Structure 1
């Protein structure tokens, strides 16, 4: 069963507040479509960066895909991935968090 969709701008604001509350500050890197834009999360750790892409799991629930792989990548590699995604979908939001364990500051299903 599909979950109801929340407007992208509202979701991003919620994620940034949760990050602050969890001691994992975040910053809005790029504003996308306020209603229906997708979201990319950039997780920054000492070992590199990881980019998570918002997807729907097979059961229709929200999930995140480790788009740059299971390990941290360089900033250049993360930036190149983000640029490719934005060229394909200019409505994307990009949010970056400090994440020493390369996990988002909120409960998330990661695939």
Structure 2
């Protein structure tokens, strides 16, 4: 059984803050099972965007896994992709992270 979206987001924010970073909820989604997108901002103004990993890339252990959708792009590129995702799923969560590294914060799968 997978953790509810609202609980996962709350735990993620706490982990980021405890590591000395900043995190914010840009858009609140469905509490039970809303898709979660994570926007990781870097000091040089670029961003990475992580979205839910496809089922075939995720382990069946109930943990949420993410895949990197965009890497080191400008903010408008992230906004464009999120706007497209919202057309399909208006219940998605968008979380913003301003931290040195995402290592240990959430699971990322390799699509390679």
**Structure-1-length-normalised TM-score:** 0.84
**Structure 1 pair 92/85, CA: closer, same or farther in 2 (3 Å)?**
same
Q: Could you say what secondary structure the match of 1:90 adopts? A: coil
Partner of 1:52: 50
Q: Which residue of 2 aligns with 1:72?
A: 72
Q: Which runs of 4+ in 1 moved over 4 A?
A: none
Deviation at 1:58, TM superposition (A): 4.7
Q: Is the 8 A contact 1:43 1:49 kept in 2?
A: yes
- The answer for unaligned runs of 5 or more in structure 1 is none
1:32 and 2:29 matched? yes
Determine the structure 2 residue equivalent to 1:19: 16
Q: Deviations over 1:44-76 (max 9, x none)?
A: 0024101100224253353211111xx310000
Aligned residues: 105
| TM-score using structure 2 length | 0.83
